[in-house]
Amino acid sequence: MTSTSTQTPTAHLATFADLLLIPEESRRHEILDGEIVEKALPRGEHGVAQSWIAGALVPAFARRANGPSRPGGWWFATEPTIDLSMHQTVQPDVAGWRRERMPNRPSGYPITLRPDWVCEVMCDGDARRRDAIHKRRIYADHGVPFYWLVDTERETLTVLSLTDRGYVEQLTAARADRVRAVPFDLLELQVGILFGDDED
């Protein structure tokens, strides 16, 4: 007499070790809730927005404080690999750490200290849903205080801050707007530069 198991096989939840099995030259992946997810290849408008975000923030906030136009106090990295927990390894488009929490520049692979701010550049399709819903929950669950979403299709910037109820929207700004967006609200940001406009 043969016996059959009534137990459902447990699905394998991926960890960073599984990510390392992917050849380095093609490793554009994240682990979200234990699933390895390939990031979409960036479109031109994605690259423009990403470079402008870094370009707008780095001169003022990177390095040490140096007066009102250079508040300083942050480290920034584009597309860093961040291991938030055993089954959550993310690669945000841009991330920032306060120097008071990370005295030395981000280093290592992966980075294991959760960031104080992340920014994702969204386009249409699965990546939009992933950034707006899935990764929003993951970042909130891991205590990332500020989350920006740059939407290249709608040409908007959405700024979220973390509360005990999850993320709440601080502002949504259009291309023509000028804003002071937390946590970088010491300086005014011209939203249009994220979409290729020249600064005034």
The vertex-119 CA angle with 134 and 70, nearest 5°, equals 160
pLDDT (tens digit per residue) in 89-126: 999 999 999 999 999 999 999 999 999 999 999 987 77
- Are 158 and 171 in contact by the 8 Å Cβ rule? The answer is yes
Strand 146-151 vs strand 82-85: parallel, antiparallel, or unpaired? Answer: unpaired
Task: Name the residue among 34, 33, 93, 103 with its Cα closest to residue 64.
Answer: 103
In words, the CATH class of domain 43-195 is alpha beta
Domain ranges of the chain: 43-195
Q: Give the max Cα distance, the chain.
A: 82
Residue type, 49: A
Task: Name the residue among 161, 166, 150, 77 with its Cα closest to residue 113.
Answer: 77
Distance (Å, rounded) from C-alpha 174 to C-alpha 155? 6
> How long a stretch of residues is the chain?
200
Q: Tens place of pLDDT for every residue, the chain, 200 residues? A: 444 545 655 679 999 999 999 999 999 999 999 999 998 877 888 888 888 888 888 888 987 777 666 788 999 999 999 999 999 999 999 999 999 999 999 999 999 999 999 999 998 777 778 889 999 999 999 999 999 999 999 999 999 999 999 999 999 999 999 999 999 999 899 999 888 888 77
